[in-house]
Structure 1
Amino acid sequence: MNEGSILFPIAEVLSAVLLVMGAAITLIGSAGLLRLHTFYERVHAPTLGTTLGTACVALASMIYFSALGGRLVLHELLIVIFVTVTTPISLTVLVRAAVFRGTFESKKR
């Protein structure tokens, strides 16, 4: 980045809004982790916050650096795709492990 680079005002505003929105969504997901009571409730809120929050921050980064460099920047799409695919899978694995552990514990008694 050079100091003489000028961004379009719409790119500045759009990237700032997406960045704040992504941070707010992630914060809400983190607050859900603290506020909710059971494991099954707690695992859901951060998953949604992570997926949507990361997508908003990556989209803001794509818009900002595309406008700054004068060319289309798509590197962040890999991050969004990876997070979007792996987060629900890890949620499913965690919940199934908890269900298995719960049924195993109940059979033990």
Structure 2
Amino acid sequence: MSFYDNSHQDRMLNATQKLEDATFDIEMSNAILEDTISTEMDSVQELKRQREVLEDDNRKLDRIDGHLDESNKTLKRMLYRAITNKIFLIIMAIVFLIIIGVVIYLGFFVFKKK
């Protein structure tokens, strides 16, 4: 019975060792899982922060786009007024030239005959 007892004892020691190895593997897996969860939570928090930054940037860009649209309209109005003013000045110059021409004509040809 001594052989049976030794064999049984060896099997028990072997089973105990396998159980301890499996327990160690499970503990290591749990530690890795906890580390992974912690890293994942940090990543989620960082992604949330980055999303908030991107949303804030998007709002700022929308405001800038609105300001640029308003500036574009203002510049178009200014260009229209500048062109209108130049046309008005050209017309006024032509009218003055006509008046000067009429005065010279009247001065040399109409009033000189008298």
Please tell me the TM-score bracket, short chain as reference. 0.3 to 0.5
Give the structure with the higher percent helix.
Answer: 2
